[in-house]
Structure 1
Amino acid sequence: MQFVSRSQWGARPSRYALAYIGSTRGVKIHYEGTPVPASLAKAENHRLCASRVRDIQASHLANRQEDYSDIAYNAMVCPHGYVYEGRGAHRKTGANGNQTLNVGHYSVCAMVGDSGLTEPTEAQLNGLRDAIEWLRKSGGAGSEIKGHRDGYATACPGGPLYAWVTKGAPRPGGSTTPPKPPKYEPFPGVDWFKKNPRSAIVTAMGRRLVAEGCSAYREGPGPQWTSADRESFRKWQRKLGDAPQFCDGWPGRKQWDALKVPKV
C-alpha cells in the first residue's frame, strides 16, 4: 500500500476530539460529487493530490452547518493509487449521512467526481482495495463493502464506482486479494549514473520521481541520464529529509531503495 499519513499530507488538527469506534460492519465507498479535473490522473500531476486533500479538509472544517470535527472521510484515494489517511482507523466517520450510518461503516473517498474525472483508474481501484484491507486489519472493519447510496439518498459514489462496488470491489483483473509485491530494480551504483547511461532504468526512475512530486523535467522522463534527472533526484533526497551534503542529485543506495523503481 502506498500510504500517506496525516503528517505527510499536511493535515490540520481536528476541531474536536474524534470519536473512537472499535469496529464497523465494513466500508462505504464515496466520491467527491463535484467536478474533478481529468488531468489530475496524469502521472506528473500526482504532486497536486496532497493539496487537494488539504483543500477538502479545509472545506469540511469551514462547514459550520455540518460542524465537522475534521475531514469527513477515514481515507481518500487519489488516481495514482495512494491512500491518504483521513480520520484514520478506529475513528467514527462523518460522511455516511447520519450518526447511525456513521457508526455502521467507515468511509473511503475516491478522487473522482460527477464531471471531468468520473472513471476510477486501475491504480485507484487498487488503492481503494488497499484502504479497505487496511481498515479491516487496523480498524476492525467487517466484510461489507457498500456505496454511500446504500442506506442514504444520494448519487454517491457515482455510476462507475457503484458498479465496481456491486461487483464486489475487485482489484483490476478480477481478484479481491492484494497483488504480489512488485520487483524493484537493484541499485546500480552511483558510478553507473556518473557515466551518463542510456537505459530503460533511467526512464523508470524518472517516472517514479514524477509520481513522488519530485519532477524537474521540462519534458517527460527518457532513457538518457541528464541534468534534469539529477535535479529531480536531488528533490527526492530533500523530500526524504537527507542532510544537505547527501542532496547532491547522485543516487545513494538507501535513497534508491526508498524510491522503489519497478523492474524493467
Structure 2
Amino acid sequence: MQFISRAQWGARPSRYKLTYIADTRGVKVHYEGTYVPPSLAAPDAHGQCAARVRAIQASHLADDDEDYSDIAYNLLVCPHGAVFEGRGAHRRTGANGTATLNSQHYAVCALLGSAGLTEPTPAQLAGLRDAIEYLRSEGDAGAEIKGHRDGHPTACPGGPLYRWVQQGAPRPGDGTGPGPGFAPFPGAEFFKRSPNSPLVTAMGRRLVAEGVAVYSVGPGPQWTEIDRRSYSRWQQRLGYRGADADGWPGRASWDALKVPKV
C-alpha cells in the first residue's frame, strides 16, 4: 500500500478534537460528487493529488453549516492508487450523513467525480481495497462494504463505483474481470478519438446480442453517435443513470459487456 500520511500531504490541524471510535461495522465508499478533471488520472499527474486532498480539507473546514472538525473522510484514494490519511483509523467520520451513520462505518473517498473522471482506474480500485484492509487491521472495521447511498439519500459514490461495491469490491486481477478471450478496456479516450477499428464492430455486435442497439445499418468499425446511443442503453441496462449513462464506455460497463478479442 502506498500510504501518504497527513504530514506528507500537508494537512492542516483539526479544528476540534476528533471523536475516538473503537470499531465499526465496516466501511462506506464515497466519491467527490463534483467535476474531477480526467487529466488527474494521467500517469504523470500524481503530483497534483496531494493538492486536491488539501483543497477538499480546506472546503470542509470552511463549511460553517456542517461545522466539520476536519476533512470528513477517514482515508482518500487517488486515481494512482495512493491512500491519503484523512481523519485516520479509530476516528469517527463526518461524511456518512448523520451521527449514527458516522459511528457505524468508516468513510473512504475516491478522488472521482460525478462528471469528468467518473470511472475508477484499476490502481484506484486496488487502493480502495488497500484502504478498506487498512481500516480493518488498524481501525477494527467490520466486514461490511457499502456505498454512501446505503442508508442516506444521495447518489454517492456514483454508478460505476457503486456497482463495484455491489460486486463485493473486488481487487483488480482477482478473476472478476471479463476473463480470457475478451477484449480489455481500451480506455475512454479511445472512443472519444472517433476510432475506426474492428473493436468497435465487435462491441456493436455485443450490443445487438444484448438487445440494446439502435443501429439501422451495422454495426461497423467507425465509432458514431449511433454507437454512443446504443452504449448508453447498455449502461442504463446496468442501472446507470444521468451522466453515468452518457454512452461513453467505462471500464466496469465494458467488462460487463464481454466484448470478444479481435
Structure 1 residue 46 and structure 2 residue 38: aligned?
A: no
- Listed as ranges, the matches of 1:136-175 within 5 Å are 136-174=136-174
Q: How far apart, CA to CA, are the structure 1 residues paired with 2:142 and 2:175? A: 19
SS at the partner of 1:146?
strand
SS at the partner of 2:137?
helix
Task: Give the CA RMSD over aligned residues.
Answer: 0.9
Q: CA deviation at 1:175?
A: 5.9
Identity %: 73
Give the TM-score normalised by structure 1.
0.66
Structure 2 regions of 5+ residues with no counterpart? 177-262
Q: How far apart, CA to CA, are the structure 2 residues paired with 1:9 and 1:43? A: 19
- What residue is the counterpart of 2:71 in the other structure? 71
- What residue is the counterpart of 1:33 in the other structure? 33
Give the TM-score normalised by structure 2.
0.66
Q: How far apart, CA to CA, are the structure 2 residues paired with 1:155 and 1:89? A: 25
- What residue is the counterpart of 1:23 in the other structure? 23
List per-residue Cα deviations over 1:123-150 (Å, max 9, x = no partner). Answer: 0000000000000000000000000000
- Listed as ranges, the matches of 1:212-251 within 5 Å are none
Q: How far apart, CA to CA, are the structure 1 residues paired with 2:78 and 2:6? A: 15
SS at the partner of 1:129?
helix
Structure 1 regions of 5+ residues with no counterpart? 177-264
- Pair 175,97 (structure 1): closer, same or farther in 2 beyond 3 Å: farther
Q: How far apart, CA to CA, are the structure 2 residues paired with 1:55 and 1:31? A: 15
Structure 1 residue 119 and structure 2 residue 119: aligned?
A: yes
SS at the partner of 1:132?
helix
- What residue is the counterpart of 1:196 in the other structure? none
SS at the partner of 1:67?
coil
* Number of corresponding residues: 176
Q: CA deviation at 1:43?
A: 1.2
List per-residue Cα deviations over 1:5-24 (Å, max 9, x = no partner). Answer: 00000000000000000000
Amino acid at match of 1:99: A
List per-residue Cα deviations over 1:170-219 (Å, max 9, x = no partner). Answer: 0112369xxxxxxxxxxxxxxxxxxxxxxxxxxxxxxxxxxxxxxxxxxx
SS at the partner of 2:134?
helix
Question: Which ranges of 4 or more aligned residues in structure 1 deviate by more than 6 Å?
Answer: none
- What residue is the counterpart of 1:8 in the other structure? 8
SS at the partner of 1:40?
helix
Amino acid at match of 1:14: S
- What residue is the counterpart of 1:189 in the other structure? none
SS at the partner of 1:95?
coil
